[in-house]
Structure 1
Amino acid sequence: MTPPQPRTRTGTFDELLASGASVPTEGWDFSWFEGRATEARPSWGYATTVAGRLGAVDGPVLDVQTGGGEVLAFALGRASRRPPMVAATEGWPPNVRRAAHTLRPYGAAVVAAAEDAPLPFADGSLSLVTSRHPVRPLWDEIARVLRPGGAYLAQHVGPASAFELVEYFLGPLPEGSRTARDPGRERRDAEAAGLEVVELRAERLRMEFFDIAAVVHFLRKVIWMVPGFTVEAYRPRLRELHERIEAEGPFVAHSSRHLVEARRPGGPGRPGA
Protein backbone atom coordinates (compact mmCIF):
# COMPACT_ATOMS: atom_id res chain seq x y z
CA MET A 1 0.00 0.00 0.00
CA THR A 2 1.05 3.63 -0.46
CA PRO A 3 0.68 5.47 2.85
CA PRO A 4 -0.75 8.99 2.89
CA GLN A 5 1.80 11.75 2.82
CA PRO A 6 2.50 13.46 6.16
CA ARG A 7 1.27 16.99 6.56
CA THR A 8 3.72 19.59 7.82
CA ARG A 9 3.10 20.21 11.50
CA THR A 10 3.88 23.46 13.23
CA GLY A 11 3.94 24.28 16.89
CA THR A 12 6.24 24.15 19.83
CA PHE A 13 7.04 20.99 21.74
CA ASP A 14 4.54 21.97 24.42
CA GLU A 15 1.82 22.69 21.86
CA LEU A 16 2.32 19.29 20.22
CA LEU A 17 2.21 17.56 23.61
CA ALA A 18 -1.03 19.36 24.41
CA SER A 19 -2.50 18.35 21.06
CA GLY A 20 -1.71 14.66 21.57
CA ALA A 21 -2.93 14.75 25.15
CA SER A 22 -6.28 16.38 24.38
CA VAL A 23 -7.72 13.91 21.85
CA PRO A 24 -10.39 11.51 23.21
CA THR A 25 -9.18 7.90 23.31
CA GLU A 26 -12.38 5.85 23.31
CA GLY A 27 -13.15 3.54 20.41
CA TRP A 28 -10.91 2.23 17.63
CA ASP A 29 -11.25 5.13 15.20
CA PHE A 30 -7.70 6.08 14.22
CA SER A 31 -8.62 8.79 11.70
CA TRP A 32 -7.01 11.49 13.88
CA PHE A 33 -3.60 10.06 12.96
CA GLU A 34 -4.00 10.91 9.27
CA GLY A 35 -1.00 12.98 8.28
CA ARG A 36 0.64 12.37 11.67
CA ALA A 37 1.37 8.63 11.58
CA THR A 38 0.98 5.64 9.27
CA GLU A 39 0.80 1.88 9.71
CA ALA A 40 0.80 -0.57 6.83
CA ARG A 41 -2.21 -2.88 6.84
CA PRO A 42 -2.06 -6.68 6.69
CA SER A 43 -2.56 -8.16 3.24
CA TRP A 44 -5.61 -10.19 4.25
CA GLY A 45 -7.86 -7.16 4.92
CA TYR A 46 -9.44 -8.23 8.18
CA ALA A 47 -12.62 -6.12 8.15
CA THR A 48 -13.38 -7.07 4.54
CA THR A 49 -12.74 -10.73 5.34
CA VAL A 50 -15.19 -10.54 8.24
CA ALA A 51 -17.76 -8.85 5.99
CA GLY A 52 -17.57 -11.77 3.59
CA ARG A 53 -18.01 -14.26 6.38
CA LEU A 54 -20.95 -12.38 7.88
CA GLY A 55 -22.71 -12.60 4.53
CA ALA A 56 -22.37 -16.39 4.53
CA VAL A 57 -23.08 -17.32 8.14
CA ASP A 58 -26.51 -18.71 9.04
CA GLY A 59 -26.37 -18.53 12.83
CA PRO A 60 -25.69 -16.08 15.66
CA VAL A 61 -22.46 -14.05 15.63
CA LEU A 62 -20.43 -12.52 18.48
CA ASP A 63 -17.68 -9.90 18.23
CA VAL A 64 -15.45 -10.06 21.33
CA GLN A 65 -13.79 -6.92 22.77
CA THR A 66 -15.37 -4.80 20.06
CA GLY A 67 -13.87 -1.48 21.22
CA GLY A 68 -16.13 1.24 19.90
CA GLY A 69 -17.75 -1.15 17.44
CA GLU A 70 -16.20 0.54 14.41
CA VAL A 71 -14.72 -2.58 12.79
CA LEU A 72 -17.87 -4.65 13.28
CA ALA A 73 -20.00 -1.80 11.91
CA PHE A 74 -17.77 -1.60 8.83
CA ALA A 75 -18.14 -5.34 8.25
CA LEU A 76 -21.90 -5.36 8.81
CA GLY A 77 -22.32 -2.44 6.45
CA ARG A 78 -20.54 -4.31 3.67
CA ALA A 79 -21.90 -7.82 4.24
CA SER A 80 -24.12 -9.16 1.45
CA ARG A 81 -26.66 -10.03 4.14
CA ARG A 82 -26.75 -9.84 7.91
CA PRO A 83 -26.74 -12.81 10.27
CA PRO A 84 -29.93 -13.55 12.22
CA MET A 85 -28.36 -12.26 15.45
CA VAL A 86 -25.25 -10.18 16.10
CA ALA A 87 -23.88 -9.25 19.52
CA ALA A 88 -20.65 -7.71 20.81
CA THR A 89 -18.88 -7.62 24.15
CA GLU A 90 -16.75 -4.77 25.53
CA GLY A 91 -15.31 -4.14 28.96
CA TRP A 92 -14.32 -0.46 29.08
CA PRO A 93 -17.39 1.68 29.97
CA PRO A 94 -16.68 4.57 27.56
CA ASN A 95 -16.32 2.04 24.74
CA VAL A 96 -19.50 0.21 25.78
CA ARG A 97 -21.46 3.42 25.30
CA ARG A 98 -19.71 4.25 22.04
CA ALA A 99 -20.20 0.73 20.65
CA ALA A 100 -23.89 0.74 21.56
CA HIS A 101 -24.33 3.97 19.61
CA THR A 102 -22.22 2.79 16.65
CA LEU A 103 -23.87 -0.62 16.32
CA ARG A 104 -27.49 0.33 17.01
CA PRO A 105 -28.25 1.06 13.33
CA TYR A 106 -27.12 -2.50 12.47
CA GLY A 107 -29.31 -4.20 15.07
CA ALA A 108 -26.31 -5.49 17.04
CA ALA A 109 -26.60 -5.77 20.83
CA VAL A 110 -23.65 -4.70 23.02
CA VAL A 111 -23.02 -6.55 26.28
CA ALA A 112 -20.73 -5.12 28.97
CA ALA A 113 -18.26 -7.87 29.90
CA ALA A 114 -14.75 -7.70 31.30
CA GLU A 115 -12.03 -8.91 28.95
CA ASP A 116 -11.08 -11.80 31.27
CA ALA A 117 -14.64 -12.79 32.23
CA PRO A 118 -16.51 -15.82 30.85
CA LEU A 119 -18.44 -14.99 27.71
CA PRO A 120 -22.09 -14.33 28.66
CA PHE A 121 -23.50 -16.79 26.13
CA ALA A 122 -24.77 -20.37 26.35
CA ASP A 123 -22.76 -23.43 25.40
CA GLY A 124 -22.83 -24.14 21.67
CA SER A 125 -24.94 -21.08 20.89
CA LEU A 126 -22.83 -19.25 18.28
CA SER A 127 -21.90 -19.95 14.68
CA LEU A 128 -19.13 -17.36 14.44
CA VAL A 129 -16.99 -15.49 16.95
CA THR A 130 -14.81 -12.61 15.72
CA SER A 131 -12.35 -10.28 17.40
CA ARG A 132 -9.85 -7.65 16.33
CA HIS A 133 -6.89 -7.29 18.68
CA PRO A 134 -8.25 -8.97 21.81
CA VAL A 135 -6.12 -8.47 24.89
CA ARG A 136 -5.99 -12.24 25.32
CA PRO A 137 -8.07 -14.87 23.51
CA LEU A 138 -10.03 -17.00 25.98
CA TRP A 139 -9.75 -20.23 24.04
CA ASP A 140 -11.76 -22.39 26.44
CA GLU A 141 -14.60 -19.88 26.38
CA ILE A 142 -14.47 -19.54 22.59
CA ALA A 143 -14.65 -23.33 22.21
CA ARG A 144 -17.51 -23.50 24.71
CA VAL A 145 -19.82 -21.01 22.99
CA LEU A 146 -19.22 -22.21 19.41
CA ARG A 147 -21.56 -24.67 17.78
CA PRO A 148 -20.03 -27.77 16.18
CA GLY A 149 -18.66 -26.52 12.87
CA GLY A 150 -18.62 -22.93 14.13
CA ALA A 151 -15.51 -20.77 13.75
CA TYR A 152 -13.40 -18.17 15.49
CA LEU A 153 -12.02 -15.60 13.02
CA ALA A 154 -9.76 -12.91 14.44
CA GLN A 155 -6.80 -10.63 13.92
CA HIS A 156 -4.40 -10.73 16.86
CA VAL A 157 -1.50 -8.52 17.85
CA GLY A 158 1.65 -10.59 17.48
CA PRO A 159 4.95 -10.76 19.35
CA ALA A 160 7.14 -7.69 19.93
CA SER A 161 4.65 -5.37 18.24
CA ALA A 162 5.91 -1.76 18.06
CA PHE A 163 8.73 -2.72 20.44
CA GLU A 164 11.00 -0.07 18.93
CA LEU A 165 8.67 2.52 20.47
CA VAL A 166 8.00 0.58 23.66
CA GLU A 167 11.69 0.04 24.39
CA TYR A 168 12.47 3.68 23.62
CA PHE A 169 10.49 4.53 26.75
CA LEU A 170 10.95 1.42 28.90
CA GLY A 171 14.41 0.25 27.90
CA PRO A 172 15.27 -3.32 26.82
CA LEU A 173 12.55 -5.78 27.78
CA PRO A 174 13.06 -9.39 28.93
CA GLU A 175 13.21 -11.99 26.19
CA GLY A 176 9.94 -13.46 27.43
CA SER A 177 8.21 -10.22 26.51
CA ARG A 178 9.31 -10.67 22.92
CA THR A 179 7.80 -14.14 22.61
CA ALA A 180 4.45 -13.34 24.22
CA ARG A 181 1.54 -13.54 21.74
CA ASP A 182 3.53 -16.00 19.63
CA PRO A 183 1.28 -17.45 16.88
CA GLY A 184 2.66 -20.95 17.42
CA ARG A 185 1.82 -20.80 21.11
CA GLU A 186 -1.67 -19.56 20.30
CA ARG A 187 -2.14 -22.48 17.91
CA ARG A 188 -1.22 -24.90 20.69
CA ASP A 189 -3.54 -23.16 23.18
CA ALA A 190 -6.43 -23.24 20.71
CA GLU A 191 -5.88 -26.92 20.00
CA ALA A 192 -5.66 -27.67 23.72
CA ALA A 193 -9.14 -26.11 24.07
CA GLY A 194 -10.46 -28.54 21.46
CA LEU A 195 -10.37 -26.26 18.40
CA GLU A 196 -8.88 -27.03 15.00
CA VAL A 197 -6.75 -24.20 13.57
CA VAL A 198 -7.53 -24.01 9.86
CA GLU A 199 -5.59 -20.82 9.03
CA LEU A 200 -2.75 -18.90 10.67
CA ARG A 201 -0.98 -16.09 8.81
CA ALA A 202 1.49 -13.58 10.28
CA GLU A 203 2.96 -10.32 9.01
CA ARG A 204 5.23 -7.57 10.36
CA LEU A 205 4.28 -4.08 9.21
CA ARG A 206 5.98 -0.69 9.07
CA MET A 207 4.76 2.15 11.31
CA GLU A 208 5.90 5.79 11.10
CA PHE A 209 5.30 8.61 13.58
CA PHE A 210 5.72 12.07 12.04
CA ASP A 211 5.39 14.17 15.19
CA ILE A 212 5.42 13.81 18.96
CA ALA A 213 1.68 14.50 19.20
CA ALA A 214 1.06 11.23 17.35
CA VAL A 215 3.31 9.35 19.77
CA VAL A 216 1.51 10.82 22.78
CA HIS A 217 -1.95 10.01 21.47
CA PHE A 218 -0.92 6.49 20.43
CA LEU A 219 0.46 5.67 23.87
CA ARG A 220 -2.64 7.12 25.56
CA LYS A 221 -4.92 5.11 23.29
CA VAL A 222 -3.06 1.79 23.28
CA ILE A 223 -2.50 1.79 27.02
CA TRP A 224 -0.76 -1.59 27.32
CA MET A 225 2.22 -0.46 25.24
CA VAL A 226 3.77 1.68 27.99
CA PRO A 227 1.74 0.93 31.15
CA GLY A 228 1.04 4.02 33.21
CA PHE A 229 2.13 6.37 30.43
CA THR A 230 1.57 10.07 31.10
CA VAL A 231 3.10 13.12 29.47
CA GLU A 232 4.38 14.30 32.85
CA ALA A 233 6.12 11.03 33.70
CA TYR A 234 7.89 10.73 30.34
CA ARG A 235 8.40 14.37 29.45
CA PRO A 236 12.23 14.20 29.17
CA ARG A 237 12.10 11.19 26.84
CA LEU A 238 9.31 12.80 24.83
CA ARG A 239 11.43 15.90 24.35
CA GLU A 240 14.38 13.80 23.17
CA LEU A 241 12.14 11.95 20.73
CA HIS A 242 10.62 15.22 19.50
CA GLU A 243 14.08 16.59 18.77
CA ARG A 244 15.07 13.35 17.04
CA ILE A 245 12.00 13.45 14.76
CA GLU A 246 12.61 17.12 14.00
CA ALA A 247 16.22 16.40 13.05
CA GLU A 248 16.00 12.96 11.40
CA GLY A 249 12.43 12.48 10.23
CA PRO A 250 9.73 9.96 11.23
CA PHE A 251 10.27 7.51 14.07
CA VAL A 252 9.94 4.01 12.58
CA ALA A 253 8.58 0.97 14.38
CA HIS A 254 7.01 -2.31 13.24
CA SER A 255 3.67 -3.76 14.28
CA SER A 256 3.07 -7.51 14.38
CA ARG A 257 -0.25 -9.03 13.33
CA HIS A 258 -1.62 -12.49 12.68
CA LEU A 259 -4.87 -13.77 11.25
CA VAL A 260 -6.22 -16.86 12.94
CA GLU A 261 -9.21 -19.01 12.08
CA ALA A 262 -10.08 -21.92 14.35
CA ARG A 263 -13.03 -24.27 14.05
CA ARG A 264 -14.92 -26.35 16.56
CA PRO A 265 -14.93 -29.88 15.09
CA GLY A 266 -18.20 -31.43 13.95
CA GLY A 267 -21.18 -30.00 12.15
CA PRO A 268 -21.69 -29.49 8.43
CA GLY A 269 -20.13 -27.15 5.96
CA ARG A 270 -17.28 -24.69 5.97
CA PRO A 271 -16.03 -22.96 9.11
CA GLY A 272 -18.49 -20.40 10.37
CA ALA A 273 -21.34 -21.70 8.23
Structure 2
Amino acid sequence: MTGRENPWPLRGVIGHARSMTRSFDELISEAATADVTGWGFAWLTGRATEQRAPWGYTRLVAERAVGATALLDVETGGGEVLAGIPGLPARTVATEYWPPNLAVARRTLHPLGVEVVDGDPQQLPFEDETFDLVISRHPVALPWGEAARVLRPGGTLLSQGIGSDSMLELAEAVAGPRPPSTTSRAEGNAEAARAAGLTVTDLRTAALRAEFFDIGAVVYFLRKVVWTVPDFSIETHRAPLAELHQRIRTEGSFVAHAQRFLIEAHKPV
Protein backbone atom coordinates (compact mmCIF):
# COMPACT_ATOMS: atom_id res chain seq x y z
CA MET A 1 0.00 0.00 0.00
CA THR A 2 5.72 1.21 1.90
CA GLY A 3 3.11 4.08 2.29
CA ARG A 4 -0.30 3.35 0.83
CA GLU A 5 -0.25 6.21 -1.61
CA ASN A 6 2.99 4.83 -3.09
CA PRO A 7 2.45 1.08 -2.98
CA TRP A 8 4.88 0.18 -5.75
CA PRO A 9 8.53 0.76 -4.80
CA LEU A 10 10.73 2.41 -7.42
CA ARG A 11 12.93 -0.46 -8.57
CA GLY A 12 11.40 -1.15 -11.95
CA VAL A 13 14.63 -1.27 -13.96
CA ILE A 14 15.97 -4.10 -11.80
CA GLY A 15 12.71 -6.00 -12.14
CA HIS A 16 12.75 -5.55 -15.91
CA ALA A 17 16.26 -6.98 -16.19
CA ARG A 18 15.24 -10.06 -14.23
CA SER A 19 12.00 -10.63 -16.15
CA MET A 20 13.83 -10.57 -19.49
CA THR A 21 15.29 -14.00 -18.64
CA ARG A 22 11.91 -15.58 -17.85
CA SER A 23 9.25 -16.91 -20.18
CA PHE A 24 5.66 -15.75 -20.52
CA ASP A 25 4.39 -18.96 -18.90
CA GLU A 26 6.79 -18.64 -15.97
CA LEU A 27 5.78 -15.05 -15.28
CA ILE A 28 2.03 -15.57 -15.42
CA SER A 29 2.21 -18.82 -13.44
CA GLU A 30 4.03 -17.03 -10.65
CA ALA A 31 1.52 -14.17 -10.63
CA ALA A 32 -1.44 -16.55 -10.78
CA THR A 33 -0.53 -18.08 -7.41
CA ALA A 34 0.61 -14.90 -5.63
CA ASP A 35 -1.38 -13.87 -2.55
CA VAL A 36 -3.60 -10.89 -3.41
CA THR A 37 -5.34 -10.47 -0.05
CA GLY A 38 -5.01 -7.19 1.81
CA TRP A 39 -4.30 -3.89 0.11
CA GLY A 40 -0.52 -3.95 0.09
CA PHE A 41 1.48 -4.02 -3.13
CA ALA A 42 4.91 -5.14 -1.92
CA TRP A 43 4.79 -8.04 -4.40
CA LEU A 44 5.28 -5.51 -7.19
CA THR A 45 8.64 -4.36 -5.82
CA GLY A 46 11.01 -4.29 -8.76
CA ARG A 47 8.24 -5.07 -11.23
CA ALA A 48 6.05 -1.95 -11.41
CA THR A 49 5.94 1.65 -10.24
CA GLU A 50 3.20 4.18 -9.60
CA GLN A 51 3.52 7.88 -8.88
CA ARG A 52 2.39 9.20 -5.54
CA ALA A 53 -0.73 11.30 -5.36
CA PRO A 54 0.57 14.86 -4.91
CA TRP A 55 -1.48 15.54 -1.78
CA GLY A 56 -0.06 12.65 0.31
CA TYR A 57 -3.17 10.95 1.72
CA THR A 58 -1.49 9.26 4.69
CA ARG A 59 0.16 12.51 5.72
CA LEU A 60 -3.18 14.33 5.55
CA VAL A 61 -4.82 11.67 7.70
CA ALA A 62 -2.02 11.91 10.27
CA GLU A 63 -2.40 15.69 10.42
CA ARG A 64 -6.14 15.52 10.93
CA ALA A 65 -5.87 12.75 13.51
CA VAL A 66 -4.01 15.11 15.84
CA GLY A 67 -6.55 16.18 18.44
CA ALA A 68 -9.23 13.74 17.26
CA THR A 69 -10.79 11.58 19.95
CA ALA A 70 -12.59 9.05 17.74
CA LEU A 71 -11.62 7.95 14.22
CA LEU A 72 -13.41 5.67 11.77
CA ASP A 73 -11.71 4.15 8.71
CA VAL A 74 -14.36 2.92 6.25
CA GLU A 75 -13.27 -0.03 4.07
CA THR A 76 -9.80 -0.23 5.59
CA GLY A 77 -8.55 -2.95 3.22
CA GLY A 78 -5.77 -4.68 5.11
CA GLY A 79 -5.45 -1.80 7.59
CA GLU A 80 -2.42 -0.33 5.85
CA VAL A 81 -3.32 3.34 6.33
CA LEU A 82 -4.10 3.10 10.04
CA ALA A 83 -1.00 1.01 10.67
CA GLY A 84 1.09 3.89 9.34
CA ILE A 85 -0.50 6.62 11.49
CA PRO A 86 1.36 7.48 14.70
CA GLY A 87 -0.64 8.38 17.79
CA LEU A 88 -4.06 7.11 16.74
CA PRO A 89 -7.03 8.50 18.70
CA ALA A 90 -8.06 6.62 21.82
CA ARG A 91 -11.02 5.19 19.95
CA THR A 92 -10.10 4.07 16.46
CA VAL A 93 -12.39 1.70 14.55
CA ALA A 94 -12.23 0.28 11.04
CA THR A 95 -14.76 -1.46 8.81
CA GLU A 96 -13.98 -4.05 6.14
CA TYR A 97 -16.38 -6.30 4.26
CA TRP A 98 -14.32 -8.58 2.02
CA PRO A 99 -13.47 -11.66 4.14
CA PRO A 100 -9.83 -12.09 2.98
CA ASN A 101 -9.09 -8.42 3.69
CA LEU A 102 -11.03 -8.57 6.96
CA ALA A 103 -8.72 -11.28 8.27
CA VAL A 104 -5.61 -9.32 7.22
CA ALA A 105 -6.95 -6.11 8.78
CA ARG A 106 -7.63 -7.81 12.10
CA ARG A 107 -4.15 -9.32 12.23
CA THR A 108 -2.65 -5.92 11.41
CA LEU A 109 -4.79 -3.64 13.56
CA HIS A 110 -5.80 -5.60 16.66
CA PRO A 111 -2.27 -5.34 18.12
CA LEU A 112 -2.62 -1.55 17.73
CA GLY A 113 -5.85 -1.53 19.72
CA VAL A 114 -8.02 -0.92 16.65
CA GLU A 115 -11.37 -2.71 16.43
CA VAL A 116 -12.25 -4.04 12.96
CA VAL A 117 -15.91 -4.74 12.20
CA ASP A 118 -17.77 -6.14 9.22
CA GLY A 119 -21.43 -6.06 8.21
CA ASP A 120 -23.51 -4.19 5.65
CA PRO A 121 -21.22 -1.85 3.66
CA GLN A 122 -24.03 0.64 3.21
CA GLN A 123 -25.10 0.76 6.87
CA LEU A 124 -22.44 1.66 9.42
CA PRO A 125 -23.01 -0.11 12.78
CA PHE A 126 -22.42 2.95 14.95
CA GLU A 127 -24.53 5.48 16.84
CA ASP A 128 -25.17 8.97 15.46
CA GLU A 129 -22.38 11.53 15.92
CA THR A 130 -19.81 9.00 17.19
CA PHE A 131 -16.65 10.10 15.34
CA ASP A 132 -14.95 13.43 14.79
CA LEU A 133 -12.84 12.06 11.92
CA VAL A 134 -14.01 9.63 9.22
CA ILE A 135 -11.57 8.49 6.55
CA SER A 136 -11.75 6.11 3.59
CA ARG A 137 -9.19 5.21 0.96
CA HIS A 138 -10.37 3.70 -2.31
CA PRO A 139 -13.82 2.60 -1.09
CA VAL A 140 -16.03 0.66 -3.47
CA ALA A 141 -18.87 3.08 -2.76
CA LEU A 142 -18.62 5.31 0.28
CA PRO A 143 -22.04 5.53 2.01
CA TRP A 144 -22.09 9.31 2.29
CA GLY A 145 -25.36 9.49 4.20
CA GLU A 146 -24.14 6.99 6.78
CA ALA A 147 -20.74 8.66 7.03
CA ALA A 148 -22.40 12.00 7.67
CA ARG A 149 -24.72 10.43 10.25
CA VAL A 150 -21.90 9.02 12.40
CA LEU A 151 -19.80 12.20 12.08
CA ARG A 152 -19.99 14.71 14.91
CA PRO A 153 -20.89 18.34 14.17
CA GLY A 154 -17.69 20.10 13.20
CA GLY A 155 -16.09 16.77 12.26
CA THR A 156 -14.08 16.00 9.14
CA LEU A 157 -14.45 13.39 6.41
CA LEU A 158 -11.38 12.72 4.24
CA SER A 159 -11.43 10.27 1.36
CA GLN A 160 -9.21 9.33 -1.56
CA GLY A 161 -11.06 7.61 -4.39
CA ILE A 162 -10.49 5.93 -7.72
CA GLY A 163 -11.28 8.37 -10.50
CA SER A 164 -13.11 7.74 -13.76
CA ASP A 165 -11.25 5.65 -16.38
CA SER A 166 -8.45 4.68 -14.03
CA MET A 167 -5.94 2.41 -15.80
CA LEU A 168 -7.95 2.69 -19.01
CA GLU A 169 -4.88 1.98 -21.15
CA LEU A 170 -4.29 -1.31 -19.34
CA ALA A 171 -7.95 -2.32 -19.47
CA GLU A 172 -8.07 -1.71 -23.21
CA ALA A 173 -4.81 -3.58 -23.84
CA VAL A 174 -6.24 -6.67 -22.12
CA ALA A 175 -9.98 -6.49 -22.84
CA GLY A 176 -10.26 -4.29 -25.92
CA PRO A 177 -11.54 -0.74 -26.51
CA ARG A 178 -14.25 0.67 -24.29
CA PRO A 179 -16.00 4.03 -24.35
CA PRO A 180 -14.67 6.63 -21.91
CA SER A 181 -16.79 7.59 -18.94
CA THR A 182 -19.24 10.41 -19.44
CA THR A 183 -19.42 11.29 -15.73
CA SER A 184 -16.80 12.29 -13.16
CA ARG A 185 -16.56 10.10 -10.09
CA ALA A 186 -14.92 12.99 -8.25
CA GLU A 187 -17.82 15.33 -8.95
CA GLY A 188 -20.33 12.57 -8.26
CA ASN A 189 -18.88 11.96 -4.82
CA ALA A 190 -18.79 15.68 -4.09
CA GLU A 191 -22.48 15.91 -4.99
CA ALA A 192 -23.24 12.93 -2.74
CA ALA A 193 -21.38 14.56 0.14
CA ARG A 194 -23.37 17.77 -0.25
CA ALA A 195 -26.62 15.82 -0.50
CA ALA A 196 -25.73 14.20 2.84
CA GLY A 197 -25.48 17.65 4.43
CA LEU A 198 -21.71 18.01 4.40
CA THR A 199 -19.73 21.03 3.24
CA VAL A 200 -17.07 20.11 0.68
CA THR A 201 -13.92 22.14 1.38
CA ASP A 202 -11.44 20.43 -0.95
CA LEU A 203 -11.76 18.46 -4.18
CA ARG A 204 -8.69 17.52 -6.22
CA THR A 205 -7.90 15.08 -9.02
CA ALA A 206 -4.68 13.61 -10.38
CA ALA A 207 -3.52 11.26 -13.13
CA LEU A 208 -0.63 9.13 -11.85
CA ARG A 209 1.81 7.40 -14.20
CA ALA A 210 2.03 3.65 -13.62
CA GLU A 211 4.62 1.51 -15.36
CA PHE A 212 4.68 -2.30 -15.63
CA PHE A 213 7.98 -4.03 -16.36
CA ASP A 214 6.77 -7.60 -16.88
CA ILE A 215 3.54 -9.43 -17.64
CA GLY A 216 3.54 -11.02 -14.18
CA ALA A 217 3.10 -7.57 -12.67
CA VAL A 218 0.14 -6.97 -14.99
CA VAL A 219 -1.52 -10.25 -14.03
CA TYR A 220 -0.99 -9.64 -10.31
CA PHE A 221 -2.45 -6.14 -10.61
CA LEU A 222 -5.53 -7.32 -12.51
CA ARG A 223 -6.15 -10.12 -9.99
CA LYS A 224 -5.91 -7.64 -7.11
CA VAL A 225 -7.57 -4.52 -8.54
CA VAL A 226 -10.53 -6.42 -9.91
CA TRP A 227 -12.53 -3.46 -11.20
CA THR A 228 -9.90 -2.72 -13.87
CA VAL A 229 -11.10 -5.68 -15.97
CA PRO A 230 -14.08 -7.08 -14.03
CA ASP A 231 -14.23 -10.40 -15.88
CA PHE A 232 -10.47 -10.92 -15.99
CA SER A 233 -9.00 -14.40 -16.05
CA ILE A 234 -5.71 -15.67 -17.40
CA GLU A 235 -7.49 -18.31 -19.46
CA THR A 236 -9.92 -16.03 -21.27
CA HIS A 237 -7.41 -13.20 -21.76
CA ARG A 238 -4.36 -15.31 -22.56
CA ALA A 239 -3.99 -14.05 -26.15
CA PRO A 240 -3.94 -10.30 -25.33
CA LEU A 241 -1.69 -11.02 -22.34
CA ALA A 242 0.77 -12.74 -24.67
CA GLU A 243 0.66 -9.74 -27.02
CA LEU A 244 1.26 -7.39 -24.10
CA HIS A 245 4.14 -9.57 -22.92
CA GLN A 246 5.84 -9.15 -26.29
CA ARG A 247 5.17 -5.42 -26.25
CA ILE A 248 6.82 -5.07 -22.85
CA ARG A 249 9.80 -7.10 -24.06
CA THR A 250 10.14 -4.84 -27.11
CA GLU A 251 9.46 -1.45 -25.51
CA GLY A 252 10.80 -2.10 -22.02
CA SER A 253 7.59 -1.41 -20.14
CA PHE A 254 3.88 -0.68 -20.42
CA VAL A 255 2.56 2.68 -19.19
CA ALA A 256 -0.95 3.40 -17.92
CA HIS A 257 -2.41 6.10 -15.71
CA ALA A 258 -4.21 5.68 -12.40
CA GLN A 259 -6.88 8.30 -11.77
CA ARG A 260 -7.31 9.53 -8.20
CA PHE A 261 -9.38 12.15 -6.43
CA LEU A 262 -9.25 13.62 -2.95
CA ILE A 263 -12.32 14.96 -1.22
CA GLU A 264 -12.50 16.64 2.17
CA ALA A 265 -15.79 17.62 3.74
CA HIS A 266 -16.98 18.91 7.11
CA LYS A 267 -20.20 18.52 9.03
CA PRO A 268 -21.68 21.90 9.93
CA VAL A 269 -21.85 22.76 13.60
TM-score where L is the length of structure 1: 0.90
For residue 94 of structure 1, report the CA deviation from its aligned partner.
1.1
Listed one character per residue, the Cα deviations across residues 136-159 of structure 1 (whole Å, up to 9, x for unaligned) are: 121111111111111111111111
Give the corresponding residue for 1:6: 13
1:205 paired residue number:
208
Between the aligned partners of 1:85 and 1:160, the Cα distance in structure 2 is 36
Structure 1 gaps, min length 5? 267-273
- Aligned equivalent of 1:152: 157
Residues 1:61 and 2:68 aligned together? no
- Counterpart of 1:130, as a letter, is I
Structure 1 residue identity aligned to 2:32: A
Which residue of 1 is the match for residue 183 of structure 2? 179
* Aligned-pair CA distance for 1:169: 2.2
Aligned CA distance change for structure 1 residues 196 and 224 (closer, same or farther; 3 Å): same
Q: Please state how far the C-alpha of 1:114 moved relative to its aligned partner.
A: 4.1
Q: Find the aligned partners of 1:252 and 1:113 in 2 and give their Cα distance.
A: 37
- Counterpart position of 1:101: 107
Q: Which amino acid aligns with 1:4?
A: R
Question: What is the distance in 2 between the residues matched to 1:82 and 1:12?
Answer: 46
TM-superposed deviation, 1:56: 2.4
1:271 matched residue in structure 2: none
Match of residue 35, structure 1, among 15, 27, 46: 46
Give the aligned partner of residue 48 of structure 1. 59
Q: Secondary structure at the match of 1:6?
A: helix
Residue type at the aligned position of 1:66: T
One-letter identity of the residue aligned with 1:39:
E
Within 5 Å, which residues of 2 pair with 1:120-199? 120-175=125-180, 177=181, 179-181=183-185, 183-199=186-202
On the 8 A contact 1:3/1:38 being kept in 2, the answer is yes
Deviations 1:50-90, CA, capped at 9 Å, x for gaps: 12222221x21110100111111112xx3xx3312001000
Determine if contact 1:155/1:259 at 8 Å carries over to the other structure: yes
Report the counterpart of residue 3 of structure 2 in structure 1.
Answer: none
Whether contact under 8 Å (1:160, 1:178) holds in the other structure is: no
Aligned AA (2:92): V
Matched, 1:70 2:71: no
CA RMSD of aligned residues (A): 1.6
Q: How does 1:82-101 map to 2 (within 5 A)?
A: 82-101=88-107
Quick one: which amino acid aligns to residue 18 of structure 1? Answer: S
* Among 259, 263, 267, the residue aligned to 2:262: 259
SS at match of 1:179: coil
- Give the superposition deviation at 1:208: 0.3
Q: Partners of 1:178 and 1:213 in 2: how far apart?
A: 32
Q: Matched residue of 2:84: which SS?
A: helix
The whole-number CA distance in structure 2 between the counterparts of 1:180 and 1:113 is 29
Aligned partners of 1:198 and 1:263 also within 8 Å: yes
- Equivalent pairs counted in the alignment come to 258
Instruction: Pick the aligned partner of 2:253 from 242, 245, 250.
Output: 250
TM-score norm. by structure 2 comes to 0.92
Letter in 2 for 1:6: V
Q: Is the 8 A contact 2:212 2:253 kept in 1?
A: yes
